[in-house]
């Protein structure tokens, strides 16, 4: 394998300077001589205080360029609990009704939207009109049309719109991107990347199983990671897709959304990516076969810790705080008053949504659909 320097590695995979700084930040515990950052931090408000928002809130302890400054929730008891736990002043806490008052709060710079998918568009637009930068969790919205409107409104408001793609700042995935795009093992011909977990019934039903809230099943929730991995490892956009819904084993649980779905993406180079996202089995793997070798991760696209190898040996990178790395990477660029790199913007979320819509259409019609 070609020996790349750290700087050339990051340049070649198209990662921002902010992300490079983040990778160094993650090793601070092992490097007591690292210079402590005492400059301005980006003040972030979390909008929606569900399970993943908890991971984000806890990750701020490892963040260098941002801090948890505000909360937005529809549950008063959570507002009290989180305010105490994370030392957030009550003046920076909002509910869904008075959220627009955030326009008057100079102590909040960015709103990180961690709500059910159906609410992404509304709160992105409201945050943008309040003059706040936005990070929105994946999938970006429920449709291509909604994504386009979100991008347009943010541009008109003069704020930046970022996607919560944590793996764009994760060392193993930076390496996958390098190996594929730099053709270290030659042209990649086949990618297999899948993510799934067993989910049970619950009362009330989890919002991810309610189509009006989620927009779909595991393709919307998990399949985005598989689509992302295929796209950024190849550095190409898919041109066509075929897809198949899996058999539904629990009709009560998956009365509104698919239980599993498998798809095949065709790329301009001739590469094919096959993926499955599922709520009825546990799977978390990435494998790529190229002309002169292979590379793989398992676990691959979950929260890790990731483990991988190539046809030349094991992969070994630090296990980082993925959420902190992502938020720091985005925050550093905004603090420097620079434009976010395209790989983390709303345009990237729009590209994924175009593929998602094509996959659903292919599965419903049984036809090969052009993307």
Catalytic residues, by residue number, are: 138, 225
- Give the C-alpha separation, 195 to 266, whole Å: 19
- Give the C-alpha separation, 130 to 109, whole Å: 10
Q: Which residue has the tokens 């086949």?
A: 190
- Give the C-alpha separation, 332 to 285, whole Å: 31
How many Cβ atoms are within 10 Å of 10's Cβ, its own excluded? 18
- Give the C-alpha separation, 260 to 217, whole Å: 8
DSSP assignment of 29-79 = GG-TTSPPP-S--EEEEEE--SHHHHHHHHHGGG-SSEEEEEEE-S-HHHH
For residue 177, give the H/E element and its range. helix 171-181
Q: From the CA atom positions of the chain, what is the Rg in Å?
A: 20
User: Sheet holding 161-163: strands in order across?
Assistant: 93-94, 66-72, 42-47, 110-113, 133-136, 161-163
Ramachandran area for residue 313 (φ above 0: left; ψ -120 to 50: alpha; else beta): left
Length of the chain: 371
């Amino acid at each position: 394998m070609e020996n790349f320097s750290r700087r050339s590695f990051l340049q070649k995979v198209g990662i921002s300077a902010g992300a490079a700084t983040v990778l160094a930040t993650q090793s601070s515990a092992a490097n007591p001589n690292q210079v402590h950052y005492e400059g301005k931090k980006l003040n972030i408000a979390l909008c929606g205080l569900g399970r993943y928002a908890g991971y984000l809130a806890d990750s701020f302890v490892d963040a260098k360029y941002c801090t948890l400054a505000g909360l937005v929730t529809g549950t008063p008891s959570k507002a009290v609990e989180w305010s105490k736990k994370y030392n957030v002043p009550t003046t920076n806490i909002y509910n869904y009704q008075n959220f627009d008052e955030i326009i008057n709060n100079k102590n909040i710079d960015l709103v990180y939207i961690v709500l059910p998918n159906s609410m992404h568009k509304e709160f992105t637009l409201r945050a943008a009109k309040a003059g706040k930068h936005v990070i929105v969790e994946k999938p970006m919205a429920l449709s291509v049309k909604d994504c386009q409107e979100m991008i347009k409104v943010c541009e008109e408001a003069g704020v930046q719109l970022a996607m919560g793609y944590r793996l764009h700042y994760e060392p193993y995935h930076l390496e996958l991107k390098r190996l594929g795009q730099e053709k270290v093992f030659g042209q990649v011909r086949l990618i297999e990347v899948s993510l799934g977990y067993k989910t049970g019934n619950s009362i009330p039903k989890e919002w991810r199983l309610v189509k009006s809230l989620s927009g779909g099943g595991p393709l919307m929730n998990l399949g985005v990671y598989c689509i992302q991995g295929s796209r950024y490892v190849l550095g190409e956009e898919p041109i066509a897709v075929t897809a198949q819904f899996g058999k539904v084993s629990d009709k009560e649980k998956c009365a509104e959304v698919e239980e599993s779905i498998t798809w095949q993406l065709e790329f301009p180079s001739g590469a094919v990516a096959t993926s499955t996202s599922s709520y009825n089995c546990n799977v978390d793997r990435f494998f790529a076969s190229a002309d002169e070798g292979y590379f793989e991760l398992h676990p691959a696209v979950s929260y890790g810790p990731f483990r991988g190898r190539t046809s030349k040996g094991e992969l070994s990178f630090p296990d980082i705080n993925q959420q902190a790395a992502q938020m720091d990477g985005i925050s550093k660029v905004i603090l420097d008053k620079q434009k976010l790199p395209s790989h983390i913007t709303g345009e990237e979320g729009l590209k994924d949504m175009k593929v998602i819509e094509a996959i659903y259409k292919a599965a419903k019609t049984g036809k090969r659909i052009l993307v």
